[in-house]
Amino acid sequence: MMPPLPPSKLQFDPDGRLHHFLTIEGLKRQTLTEILDLADSFLDSEGKSIKKLPLLRGKTIVNLFFESSTRTLTTFELAALRLSADVLKINIETSSASKGESLLDMLHNLEAMQCDMFVIRHAQSGAAQFIAHHVAPHISVINAGDGRHAHPTQAMLDMLTIRRHKPNFGALKVAIVGDVLHSRVARSQIHALTTLGAAEVRVIGPKTLIPNSVQQLGVHIFHDMAEGLNGVDVVIMLRLQRERMAGALLPSEKEYFKLYGLTDEKLALAKPNAIVMHPGPINRGVEIASSVADGPQSVILEQVTNGIALRMAVMSMVLGRGPLNPTVEENS
């Protein structure tokens, strides 16, 4: 039996066109830029996603969320509908999977219904890649978050938001603050930022929430908030993921906010025109003060709006089989 393809190769079809979107790791800058450019084209002059386009008319997209997420699911549904696709949401709790049917049996049944794409969210790392290995060749898979591994569309909508405010990634210092250990978003953000050529990527947090391996991704680690925020252009706050924590990694949420919560005073250490981001959902008074979350430097709601356009871009590229991946040679 042939060994499974790595995600970087699995994501492209034999012609070198994007077929799945599983991870940002291994993708080239040109591919990420093409996604961002297409997403930009789906935003109107006021920064709102275009209401209706016929690009995916006749296509059927299935949302398979084995892990709950109101915002991600809703934006994927809206993105598909605005591309004129038919959308099917499977209620996992009442589906045959909860009655003993295997995941692959369920997928093959959906394939037999002539579906075109599965959008997968799963608590297990690697779930989307596993599914992409086993689906029929005409099916595309988009990873909507898998375990601690990756959340590529969230990272890319964050890149879109950054670029609309600060177009030159090569001049940017970006700080990612908080629970990096449990964050699939942070991992994908780091890959996207480094691929797009950010001048510096910093991660800030207590030692218990910063994985030892993160330095290998080309970031600088800070455990002191004041030092880490000094002179940055973008501040990305992360949610404390209590549901993924095993053991006492923090003394208390009050102590965490004191040391690592983003307040107006701490934000003043960044550049005066720095933007504040958060992938959500926000824990006010734990990771971020309401005055900052709702303040003039916050672009958190823009991230939600941009999420629709970005997911429209990824869906249309994947189901349209384009544009070409510059890393795949014609004779490979």
What is the per-residue DSSP string for 121-140? EESSTTHHHHHHHHS-TT-E
- Is it the case that residue 63 has pLDDT exceeding 80? yes
Co-location of 235 and 140 in the same domain: no
Average pLDDT of the segment spanning 144-166? 96
Please check whether residues 272 and 202 belong to one and the same domain: yes
Q: Tell me: pLDDT of 174 over 60.
A: yes
Q: Are residues 160 and 299 in the same domain?
A: yes
* Distance, first Cα to last Cα, the chain: 20
Band of the pLDDT at 322, cuts 50, 70, 90? very low
Contacts of 22 (CB under 8 A, 6+ apart): 7, 10, 11, 128, 129, 132, 141, 142, 143, 150, 152
> Is the pLDDT at 101 greater than 90, yes or no?
no
| pLDDT at residue 220 is higher than 60 | yes
Q: In 217-277, which ranges are continuous DSSP H helix?
A: 225-229, 253-260, 264-267
Answer yes or no: do 185 and 72 share one domain: no
pLDDT given at position 57: 95
**Cβ neighbours for 13, distance < 8 A, ≥ 6 positions apart:** 19, 321
Residue 3 has pLDDT above 60, yes or no: no
Return d(Cα 18, Cα 20) in angstroms, integer.
Answer: 6
Checking if the pLDDT of 104 tops 90, the result is no
Q: Assign residue 228 the CATH number of its domain.
A: 3.40.50.1370
pLDDT at 260 over 50: yes
List the alpha helices (DSSP H) in 268-299: 290-293
Average of per-residue pLDDT across 53-77: 93
pLDDT above 70 (res 84): yes
Give this prediction's pTM. 0.90
- With cut-offs at 50, 70 and 90, classify the pLDDT of residue 28: very high
Q: What number is the average pLDDT over the span 57-65?
A: 95
Q: Find the mean pLDDT for residues 36-52.
A: 89
In a domain, 331, yes or no: no
The pLDDT, as a whole number, for residue 8 is: 62
pLDDT at 227 over 50: yes
Average pLDDT over residues 170-198: 96
Q: Residue 217's closest CA among 278, 274, 176, 250? A: 176
The chain-wide mean pLDDT, for the chain, equals 88
Residue 330 lies in a domain: no
Report the SS3 class of residue 200.
strand
In this structure, the answer to whether residues 175 and 282 fall within a common structural domain is yes
Question: Cβ atoms within 10 A of the Cβ of 111, count?
Answer: 16
Range of the domain at 103: 7-150+305-320
Are 311 and 288 part of one and the same domain?
no
**Tokens 């309401």, located at residue:** 290
**Residues 156 and 298 grouped into a single domain:** yes
Q: Which band of pLDDT confidence, cut at 50, 70 and 90, is reported for residue 332?
A: very low
Distances (CA, A) of 111 to 21, 100, 117, 142, 242: 18, 19, 9, 15, 36
Structural domain count, the chain: 2
Alpha-carbon distances, residue 305 vs 53, 88, 157 (angstroms): 17, 22, 9
Tokens of 13: 């079809």
CA dist 332 and 329 (Å) reads 5
- 325 belongs to a structural domain: no
Same domain for 25 and 13, yes or no, is yes
Q: Are residues 107 and 182 in the same domain?
A: no
Angle at the Cα of 324 from the Cα atoms of 74 and 320, rounded to 5 degrees: 45
Q: Is residue 100 part of a domain?
A: yes
Inform me whether the pLDDT recorded for 274 exceeds 80: yes
Percent of the chain with pLDDT over 70: 88
208 residue type, one letter: T
In a domain, residue 59? The reply is yes
Q: Which residues contact 222 (CB under 8 A, 6 or more apart)?
A: 175, 202, 203, 204, 228
Q: What's the whole-number mean pLDDT along residues 26-53?
A: 91
pLDDT at 259: 94
Co-location of 284 and 191 in the same domain:
yes
Q: Is residue 94 part of a domain?
A: yes
Tokens of 232: 């940055």
Tell me, what's the pLDDT at 47?
Answer: 84
